[in-house]
Structure 1
């Protein structure tokens, strides 16, 4: 859909297999004849018999034709190259109903499963030990907070086929055409941060295998570039990759458990859990799960609009919850065993998560190194899918950016991930905790507003979203109510935050309950604010 609901333009074509190439100018326009004539010799310079002037005109004409032919050749070449990989170039425009034709709903499960069946949840689970939690306590917290927060992304996934809109486009129906840039920027920072974390973990695994021959920086570059290839291609290739990539990932994780599982029985003694440690680690788990909701419908917009919502919900819920719970618990078990296994402690000191996983596989010798490499590559599906959503978010920041092909932003994201990842790797867990501290609060407030708008003001009816008005400022909400609710809720959230750099007076007693309050308070504020906004603006 183009401006005001007009048919999709060439710049919004779905795949390069279609007749037109999207957005990007893959060639430069040849010089006009007028500019060519301006550079020709004047009569005062050539006055003999006019033959030189005639010759120059013919030469300029030949050059113009050659350049035009060359430009056409580049365009044909670009089409063939990108169609070879089924590169998706459609941007943020809603998917027309006639293009929502995908019927294989099990792809939703395999995509979410693959995005989470990797080393990332293991890393988050390892943070339980930093709060002094036993394996039992950490496991109970992981199960409870995962089951509690997963319904949000699972439900929002069901809106993709019905509206054809990406998640942050749907946010415009609360935050408005312009103010939506604020949550978009925060979402970009969140998703990019996740990609950086995953690239660092993958790089550490490769470095551990290389035994000093491969630095973490080189490993980060390798992982980021491989993920770029998948992300660059878009929806079709992404789903195809995720359909099968989880199989070697699960096998590699099972082998690692089999080789190092005997040490997992050795758990370091801990003190009884306190309310502060329970709520603070619960915030970590929630901060892992909640941000998925900010990109949930990005992966379901091509499904048939009449796909049963229950099926989408269940596939999303299981694809997210099952691997997250199992692997976070595994991470908690590994972290509690590290102090009691000297080889693991040494490997952890050298290469952190990647080092421990490599140490778990030392009994398998060379085969263990191969499995460690596979473990590092299990992150590719997650990085690629996250990068896919990042590229769509970029196009929401300014009208001019929607004309830029999605693949260009994929290159930009990779260029950001590599240097930031190399820097973050120097103090990984401190960087991870500081990052997590920022994402749970804003995303909880944002999603509460989205859900209140959907259930309270639009009565959970997707027909009330005028998809043709997706970029019409005159029809979209002003957005002041949504942004105001999110900002003002932090007056109560900040005293309830418990972080390394700040612990509020309430959090000293209760532990970190910031994301829970952000979700509740922003939703309560939004109801009267939005009601007033509708009365004043009429939209």
Structure 2
């Protein structure tokens, strides 16, 4: 059965332009997904296995990157275990709400997240957030590849370099993302299980070192907020790709069901492993073998040292643990493929899986270059990406909840939901979409108040000096308020 686009064009037909009919049919017969950003018609949104989205988020976050993000509290911000865990808990509970909510849009609209954003940012205006999202996703892939490469190298006692380990992680992720939706869901449903078993073993052999954390100095509010901004950057940036994984789910599903599957899939692994990472980071100075493995911020070496008590089997477990990052890299490669097609619209004719190869070619050299400055890379990256993602999120939420609510100028009088106000036939027609001027102006101008609230290694704003980093909160509020005003003017002048 051929996949059809919104305009009736065959997705398989797009492939044949590049690969020929025989190769195209062979790939489809193997279960490789051809569809890129073409909308999924309502008659094809029939998947009733709603738990899939829980396992995608669970596996994507049940890995050593979540663990390493938790170590930032004690290592970088100087927080004690209690304060680190409280920040991790409450900021994740708050910041997991937006990406979980946006996953509910996929079954209703059949649109990838960045295509849906065209109804706020316009056909051309969405290119800017799309570029920023590509940078965001490349950054996460780089961090994951570095961590996986470190862990593989630590097992080989230096005989396998970090660079080779990075290539191994990237190639495994490429294979999964190349195949697409079906294989990705199968992989994400299973790969969290060995990771859970390994972390239970780690607690079994080293948990006694975590039982008596040393007393910590009282935490300053500014430090808590700065660490909170880093945690926010970890999870809120899933928002620009949330609905990419739910567009095949049954359109009749209740939104709350998808929301709670997604929310649990985000909160459970992230909070658990980040708190564990914080606990281990606090205990490292008191355990010489852990400290040796952790030299120069080598998280992979630390995990290998924690598994040393189980002998050679510990090296095997470390290898499995290093592969845990592939679940995150594969799903990120998948969304990165789609972003390429939104960024350069004519690339919709290129099969989705081609971009998995392109993404791998971009990520591998960047990860190798950044591999020996992991903590600087992680802290700076997570601190920065939360700002733009927060502004983007505010804009699309205001558009959806205010301007496309039942009874607004977009919605027919009988509509009972905001989703009926989206003209899905206009998703690829610039003249029938907003100009994007209101959205871009709101997002860009909001940084006039965001910059003074930023607390980064290379810049500390005057407000942040007193409050800590509150940039992502200010970005959300300022861009939302500005978009309300600018979009109202745009509607009065243009009517779309």
TM-score by structure 2 length? Answer: 0.95
1:470 corresponds, among 427, 430, 446, to 427
1:22 is the counterpart of 2:15: yes
List 4+ stretches of structure 1 deviating above 3 A. none
1:266: Cα distance to partner?
4.7
Query: Do residues 182 (structure 1) and 128 (structure 2) align?
Result: yes
Residue of structure 2 in register with 1:121 after alignment: 66
Q: Take 1:396 and 1:350, find their aligned partners in 2: how far apart are those partners?
A: 39
| Aligned counterpart for 2:30 among listed residues 85, 108, 112 | 85
1:256–1:360 contact (8 Å) kept in structure 2: yes
Contact 1:99 1:302 in 2 (8 A): yes
In 1, distance between residues paired with 2:261 and 2:400?
Answer: 22
- What is the rounded CA distance, in whole Å, between the counterparts of 2:394 and 2:156 in structure 1? 46
Counterpart selection for 1:199 from 140, 145, 153: 145
1:135-214 alignment runs, 5 A limit: 135-214=81-160
Measured in 2, the distance between the counterparts of 1:218 and 1:266 equals 38
Determine if the alignment matches structure 1 residue 314 to structure 2 residue 314.
no
Q: CA deviation at 1:269?
A: 4.0
Alpha-carbon shift at residue 257 of structure 1 (Å): 1.9
Could you tell me how far apart the structure 2 residues matched to 1:524 and 1:501 are?
29
Conservation of the 8 A alpha-carbon contact between 1:206 and 1:354: yes
Q: CA deviation at 1:119?
A: 0.9
SS at match of 2:18: coil
Counterpart CA distance in 2 for 1:277 and 1:142 is 13
Q: Are residues 1:392 and 2:338 paired?
A: yes
1:423 is aligned to 2:380 = no
User: How many angstroms apart in 1 are the aligned matches of 2:184 and 2:308?
Assistant: 33
Distance in 1 separating the partners of 2:325 and 2:30: 21
Structure 2 residue 475 is matched with structure 1 residue 529: no
Would the aligned equivalents of 1:284 and 1:436 in 2 still touch at CA under 8 Å?
yes
Is the contact between residue 268 and residue 339 of structure 1 (CA under 8 Å) also seen in structure 2?
no
**1:101 counterpart residue number:** 46
Question: Following the alignment from structure 1 to structure 2, what is the Cα–Cα distance between the partners of residues 499 and 440?
Answer: 12
**Are the aligned partners of 2:151 and 2:318 in contact in 1 as well (CA < 8 Å)?**
yes
Paired with 2:313 and 2:41, the residues of 1 have a C-alpha distance of: 49
Q: CA deviation at 1:417?
A: 1.1
Q: Deviations over 1:345-401 (max 9, x none)?
A: 111116610011000000000111111111111111111011100000000112221
- 1:23 CA displacement: 6.0
1-side partners of 2:452 and 2:297: how far apart? 36
- How many Å separate the matches in 1 of 2:17 and 2:164? 31
Distance 2:351 2:22 in 1: 17
Q: How many angstroms apart in 2 are the aligned matches of 1:95 and 1:314?
A: 23
Counterpart of 2:455 in structure 1 is 498
Q: Is the Cα contact below 8 Å between 1:23 and 1:405 reproduced in 2?
A: no
Partner Cα distance (2:448, 2:32) in 1:
45
Instruction: State the alpha-carbon separation in 2 of the partners of residues 488 and 351 from structure 1.
Output: 37
Give, in whole Å, the separation in 1 of the partners of 2:160 and 2:219.
40
Query: Does the Cα contact within 8 Å between 1:208 and 1:354 map onto a contact in 2?
Result: yes
CA distance in 2, matches of 1:92, 1:175: 16
1:118 CA drift (Å): 1.0
Give unpaired runs (5+ residues) of structure 2: 406-416
Write the distance in 2 (CA, Å) between the matches of 1:323 and 1:25.
40
Distance, in Å, in 2 between the alignment partners of 1:23 and 1:473 is 27
Q: CA deviation at 1:437?
A: 2.4
- Which segment drifts farther, 342-351 or 105-114? 342-351
Q: Distance in 2 between matches of 1:327 and 1:507?
A: 28
How much does 1:268 deviate?
4.2
- Partner of residue 442 from structure 1, selected from 372, 388, 393: 388
* CA distance, structure 2, for counterparts of residue 308 and residue 404 of structure 1: 34
Aligned 8 A contact 1:496 1:507 in 2: yes
| Change over 3 Å in CA distance of 1:201–1:476 after alignment to 2 | same
Q: Give the superposition deviation at 1:259.
A: 1.7
Shift of 1:202: 0.4
C-alpha separation between the residues in 2 aligned to 1:21 and 1:474?
25
What is the alpha-carbon distance in structure 1 between the residues aligned to residue 441 and residue 14 of structure 2?
A: 40
Match of 2:437 in 1: 480
Secondary structure of 1:505 counterpart: coil
Alignment check: 8 A CA contact 1:481 1:526 kept? yes
- Alpha-carbon distance between aligned partners in 1 of 2:65 and 2:267, rounded to the nearest angstrom: 14
Q: Point out where structure 1 has 5 or more consecutive residues left out of the alignment.
A: 14-19, 28-74
1:246 to 2:192 alignment: yes
1:76, distance to aligned residue in structure 2 (A): 1.4
Q: Give the conservation status (yes or no) of the 8 Å contact 1:268–1:340.
A: no
Distance 2:62 2:119 in 1: 33
Query: 1:58 is matched with which residue?
Result: none
Could you report, residue by residue, the CA deviation over 1:430-489 in whole angstroms, capped at 9, with x for unpaired residues?
111121122000000000000000000001510101111001111100000001000011
The Cα of 1:235 is off from its aligned counterpart by 0.6
3-state secondary structure, aligned to 1:396: helix
Q: Give me the whole-angstrom Cα distance separating, in 2, the residues matched to 1:293 and 1:21.
A: 29
Q: What is the rounded CA distance, in whole Å, between the counterparts of 2:334 and 2:280 in structure 1?
A: 31
Between Structure 1 and Structure 2, whose CA radius of gyration is higher? Answer: 1
Match of 1:323 among 262, 265, 269: 269
Q: Is the 8 A contact 1:22 1:90 kept in 2?
A: no
